[in-house]
Structure 1
Amino acid sequence: MTELLRPIGDGSVFGAVHLGYVVVQSNRLTDWRRFGVDAIGLHVDELDSNTVRFRLDDRACRFLIRRGSAEDVIALGWQVDDHEAFDRIIARVTARDVPVIEGTPEEAALRGVQRLWRFAGPKGIAQEIFTVPVTTPEPLRMQSSGWVTGEAGLGHVAILSREPETTRGYFHTVFDSRLSDYIDENISGLKMKIRFLRVNERHHSIAIAGLRGVKIDPIRTSVQHINIQSETLDDMLASFQRVTELGFRMQWSVGQHTNDRELSYYCVTPSGFELEVGWNPIVIGPELESTWEPTTYQGISIWGHTTVGETVLDKFAQFRQALRSAGTPEITVPELAGGLIR
């Protein structure tokens, strides 16, 4: 990551952190393979009967799908550029008595990294950090012409939280995230505020949504969606057509967001959380970074992003999930939610 994005001498790791990979546990590996390869257009490597990996670039792994019953994202992997930033993150976590565990060599190999360290994250999603990814010279075999990763990382993760300020505090404490902007949205009469956090030049690597005045969560999965970014508009639209033709559920039609101006659509993965495939969002490079001020936008989209095929049964299922969630405390890591150690 360019040093221009990293403050000098203030102990910040901003600009040195990038979303590297996503780990999913699922028993629907056949569906995941068809979804990733035939619909989205990713490169696939089937390591064994229990493991599917997807590539988007020269990294050995960007999505790891391991057999298991969760049907959910269970870990996020974050690349840290240098040992100084890595040590700073580890010190912040351990100073607050949150255990840090080194991953096994097998876990590291599956994720396409040399070594990794793991600690607890919001909503039970393990946060894993590493410094050296494994790359491969093997040519990509995929329908897409390419994906935007590099300095901006893999994409972003969106979380619906009943404790949004605590979750925001976590990523500020651990990664020095910065607030890009807010979106206020009305959904079925409920007011939702979404906080968009950046850790590098990508407009946001983390989005945190919360319902104002109501601590409910209508989503079964720990993440609402994962985002990846197409290199071209043609690639994004072609994958939209394939998803539709192959019968995978489309959640939100093509539209454009108000804040980062990304064109995108949302479809439902075999595990139930959504995948956003986007194109051409704003990049907050060094010039914009120096003058950026958070703004509150009214509504998620300038145009499009209309719901597709949602039924009364879907609404009822969300209502039942919300009722269940109200009686169960959300998993947080309060030790890491309250400011920085300098």
Structure 2
Amino acid sequence: MNPHENAREHAREGHCAPSVFGAVHLGYIIIETNRFADWRRFGTDAIGMHHDALCHDLMRFRLDDQECRFLLRRGPAEDVVTTGWHIDDHPSFERIEARIRAHGVPLVAGTDEEAALRGVERLLRFPGPKGITQEIYTTPVKSAEPLRMLASGFVTGDAGMGHIALSSTRPTLIRGYFHTVFDARLSDYIDETMSGVKVKIRFLRVNERHHSIAVANPRAVPIDPIRTRVQHLNIQADTLDDVALSYQRVRELGFGSLSVGQHTNDRELSYYARTPSGFDWEVGWNPIVVDEATWEPSTHQGISIWGHLPVGRTILDRLAHFRAGAHSLAHPENTVPALSGTGIADG
């Protein structure tokens, strides 16, 4: 058996192996930016998170007792560059590692210094869709330092710390990637029309949270209108008061993007802020929890039951989307084909 046949055989065996669904949780996110002062103001004064300044080129935000939920490093990307996934146990960690190796995709062990910056004991990294590096770890480091933040708290725990939302011209391959690596399941779809363009959004879950990954696809036009790798990030506030008070701070400080509203599918009440790097940041409250025994995927019409109206958008924002779409035509989207698969029926 040649090496390629051997890899395919291992991949088939891995598909029959026990699922890691439910053992995977969004754990931390790394952002590259040169706008440290603006990000500190955004994270602490607007959103209300705990801030730790590490050095001139590094800072972190906390949501709970985990040492790091957001690591910001100095650099030109103005974007999310890495997502870190907490894996519950070593057997699940090793199962994911074996799947990636079986498909011929390289993994790199993080250094002790890199692990310490992320607040974990050890990590492995590997390529992800849209150039977002994926990292997995098993043991987060807890901080003994009390939280200093304006928010009363954030919901993390078994559901992870929130979700990421991407836009893509190849959504089926991104769905295939997260199914191959994490046994992600389809929660539902949303059909929406934005600025005259029909968009289908796929919502994928890796645990009880309704979705940890959302993938938006402009239909009938082969462009990605979003400059950044992610369209938005989401964190979940502990109370409705936290949402209301942080929204007031976001508006007063000039970070507003979309007003408070409620989504059709997960029923989360939320608002969106515009980060200093240009992507959006959603703060939500009280989304539904999926019951695996009864849940069936469905399609919803429209993103919001009410609200989520633009705040402070201008014609310059619209032109920026057109420029990003034109740019995407000349730069093919990276989907990590070896892990993306083609065997999933998709709508």
> Shared fold by TM > 0.5?
yes
Counterpart of 1:205, as a letter, is S
Deviation at 1:218, TM superposition (A): 1.2
Deviation at 1:339, TM superposition (A): 6.4
Q: 1:77–1:127: 8 Å Cα contact kept in structure 2?
A: yes
Name segments (4+ residues, structure 1) moved above 6 Å: none
Identical positions, percent: 66
Q: Identify which range, 32-41 or 313-322, moves more after superposition.
A: 313-322
Counterpart of 2:213, as a letter, is I
SS at match of 1:244: helix
Task: Please give the alpha-carbon distance, in whole angstroms, between the structure 2 residues aligned to 1:235 and 1:136.
Answer: 23
User: Of 174, 181, 187, which residue of structure 1 is paired with 2:188?
Assistant: 181
Task: Please give the alpha-carbon distance, in whole angstroms, between the structure 2 residues aligned to 1:214 and 1:174.
Answer: 28
User: Of 283, 293, 299, which residue of structure 1 is paired with 2:289?
Assistant: 283
Check if 1:24 corresponds to 2:27. Answer: no
Task: Please give the alpha-carbon distance, in whole angstroms, between the structure 2 residues aligned to 1:292 and 1:247.
Answer: 40
Deviation at 1:44, TM superposition (A): 0.5
Q: 1:265–1:277: 8 Å Cα contact kept in structure 2?
A: yes
Q: 1:172–1:339: 8 Å Cα contact kept in structure 2?
A: no
Task: Please give the alpha-carbon distance, in whole angstroms, between the structure 1 residues aligned to 2:30 and 2:286.
Answer: 25
SS at match of 1:290: coil
Task: Please give the alpha-carbon distance, in whole angstroms, between the structure 2 residues aligned to 1:174 and 1:23.
Answer: 20
Check if 1:137 corresponds to 2:140. Answer: no
Q: 1:180–1:204: 8 Å Cα contact kept in structure 2?
A: yes
Deviation at 1:324, TM superposition (A): 1.1
Task: Please give the alpha-carbon distance, in whole angstroms, between the structure 2 residues aligned to 1:69 and 1:105.
Answer: 25
SS at match of 1:253: strand
Structure 2 unmatched ranges of 5 or more = 1-15
Equivalent residue number for residue 3 of structure 1: none
Equivalent residue number for residue 217 of structure 2: 210
- 1:1-342 equivalences under 5 Å are 11-248=18-255, 250-284=256-290, 288-338=291-341
User: Normalization by structure 1: what TM-score?
Assistant: 0.94
Q: Deviations over 1:40-87 (max 9, x none)?
A: 000000011111100000000000001111100000000001111111
Task: Please give the alpha-carbon distance, in whole angstroms, between the structure 1 residues aligned to 2:208 and 2:82.
Answer: 22
Counterpart of 1:52, as a letter, is M
Q: CA RMSD in A?
A: 1.1
Counterpart of 1:294, as a letter, is P
SS at match of 1:145: coil
Deviation at 1:189, TM superposition (A): 1.4
Structure 1 unmatched ranges of 5 or more = 1-8
Task: Please give the alpha-carbon distance, in whole angstroms, between the structure 2 residues aligned to 1:139 and 1:167.
Answer: 38
Task: Please give the alpha-carbon distance, in whole angstroms, between the structure 2 residues aligned to 1:60 and 1:91.
Answer: 28
Q: 1:173–1:339: 8 Å Cα contact kept in structure 2?
A: no
User: Normalization by structure 2: what TM-score?
Assistant: 0.93
Task: Please give the alpha-carbon distance, in whole angstroms, between the structure 2 residues aligned to 1:14 and 1:179.
Answer: 12
SS at match of 1:108: helix
Q: Deviations over 1:4-41 (max 9, x none)?
A: xxxxx951000000000000000011111111001100
Task: Please give the alpha-carbon distance, in whole angstroms, between the structure 2 residues aligned to 1:324 and 1:258.
Answer: 32
Pairs aligned (count): 328
